[in-house]
Structure 1
Amino acid sequence: MAGTRTLYVVTHPESRHHVEGRVGGWFDSPLTERGRSQARSIAAELRRRIPTDASAEVFTSDLARTRETAEVVAEALGTRAEVAAGLREKSYGVAEGREQAWLDERFVFPPKPVDVSPKPDDVSGGERMLDHQARLDHDEGIEGAETRRELGARVYAAMDEILARPAGHQVVVTHGFAHTFVIGRWLELPLEAMGWAAFAARSGCITELTEDAVFGNRTLRRLADVDHLGES
């Protein structure tokens, strides 16, 4: 449709902390050689999807693995990547850079839904209460780790600045956990309702979001696509 606005959300491909089994977050690991090859595949796919006569903007987290990916994408699209630090991954505090097993041994899982039993005269069968606030403020028991609320607030702020720009095609290069909040902001989901939301992402995926020019409806058109990587 003419005038449709499109946002492509890219998660960085394979980086060194993946293959070394280390906690990522703000730990600034670079892409592996395989990751660099995947970045080129991502760039080629975005070049295929975005019309050659259309201008595109590219934004990236300030961490090395996303910046490296974004630079490859931007070159393919004939533009330059702009750094938006608010797009960086959730911080895992003192766990960052440590072996994943260290975090796994200390990780405190967030609260789950609470089943509320029905009253004797209630035929509804009860309900499950979702405590968004407890989930948003949960720090997983790790010193210095960000909560979902803290992560979401900065990602939402970064996306507000990006979406205020009029470009018809924008690319956001970010991380797996932050990916959920980029989508949440696009869909205008209040941060207070994001305690349970999760849009699963694989490394090197592309999520495509569109806004139509007639009604202004925003759609999650394609979630976490990895077909361009040519891997099973």
Structure 2
Amino acid sequence: MYVITHPESTHHVDGLVGGWYDSPLTATGLRAAAAIAETLRAAIPAHAEVELYASDLRRTAQTADVIGELLRVPPVLDPRLREKSYGEAEGKPQEWLRERFLTPPAVGERIGHHDGIPGSETMGEFGERVYAAMAAIMVSDCAYQIVVTHGGALTFTVASWTKLPIDALAYARFHGASGSITELREDDYFRNRQVVRLGDTSHLATTLG
């Protein structure tokens, strides 16, 4: 499985809160999506069966469209793969969120902690949603799967694939920069699941400068 975090979108450059705010990719983001697609094309055998899934927000759907066009596979859009909802903060300046955001405690309830923003999700609600999407994806025995999602959702995507319980993520996070590729692999003998590479952006260096 290859997990892609969508590349640069307009909310990044405008300094706005993302979440479910439906921002498109920038021109730089579209070039990065093309670099991601080329990298996947080189890694996946030409005649292999491939499944492609993505969050239904524009920035992820656009990324999946670029990948799907090159690999000749239509993306399946799933709203459960969206980023964490930040409720009323979405589309507002990051400073607006910082002034109101209630950080989780160092000790105590963290997964169920609410950040104080009306309409936002807790990390537990966010995680359960992404875990449900991944459970549906992992039913398939397709040899190669690609999941296009968001930076915050990467933690739950990787953790669900490795079968970590959500409660184990009270502190742990998996980080991947925008436009990164994470490679997950299950071996054919022991059926162990490995994180082969996490948040790799080497494919962007030569393409974007």
| TM-score interval (norm. to shorter) | over 0.9
Shift in Å, 1:192: 2.0
Question: d(CA) in 2 for partners of 1:197 and 1:151?
Answer: 15
SS of the equivalent of 1:26 reads coil
Per-residue CA deviations over 1:158-213 (Å, capped at 9, x if unaligned) read 00000001101000000010110000000100112221120011000000000001
Q: Match for 2:155 among 173, 180, 201?
A: 180
- Code of the aligned partner of 2:112: D
Question: d(CA) in 1 for partners of 2:175 and 2:167?
Answer: 19
SS of the equivalent of 1:182 reads helix
Which entry has the higher C-alpha Rg, 1 or 2? 1
SS of the equivalent of 2:110 reads helix
- Judge which range, 188-197 or 66-75, deviates more: 188-197
Matches within 5 A, 1:107-118: 107-113=101-107
Alignment of 1:73 onto 2:67: yes
- Code of the aligned partner of 2:89: A
Q: Match for 1:32 among 26, 34, 40?
A: 26
Question: d(CA) in 1 for partners of 2:6 and 2:182?
Answer: 12
Shift in Å, 1:108: 1.3
What is aligned with 2:15? 21
What is aligned with 1:202? 177
Question: d(CA) in 1 for partners of 2:90 and 2:113?
Answer: 17
What is aligned with 2:82? 88
Alignment of 1:63 onto 2:57: yes
Return the TM-score normalized by structure 1: 0.87
Q: Match for 1:168 among 120, 143, 153?
A: 143
User: Greater helix percent: which structure?
Assistant: 2
Deviation beyond 6 Å, 4+ runs, structure 1: none
Question: d(CA) in 1 for partners of 2:195 and 2:101?
Answer: 31
Matches within 5 A, 1:44-59: 44-59=38-53
Question: d(CA) in 2 for partners of 1:8 and 1:138?
Answer: 30
What is aligned with 1:145? 120
SS of the equivalent of 1:204 reads coil
Alignment of 1:154 onto 2:129: yes
Gaps of 5+ in 2: none
What percent identity do the matched residue pairs reach?
51
- Code of the aligned partner of 1:84: D
SS of the equivalent of 2:183 reads strand
Shift in Å, 1:53: 2.0
Gaps of 5+ in 1: 1-6, 114-130
Question: d(CA) in 2 for partners of 1:39 and 1:156?
Answer: 25
**Aligned residues, how many?**
207
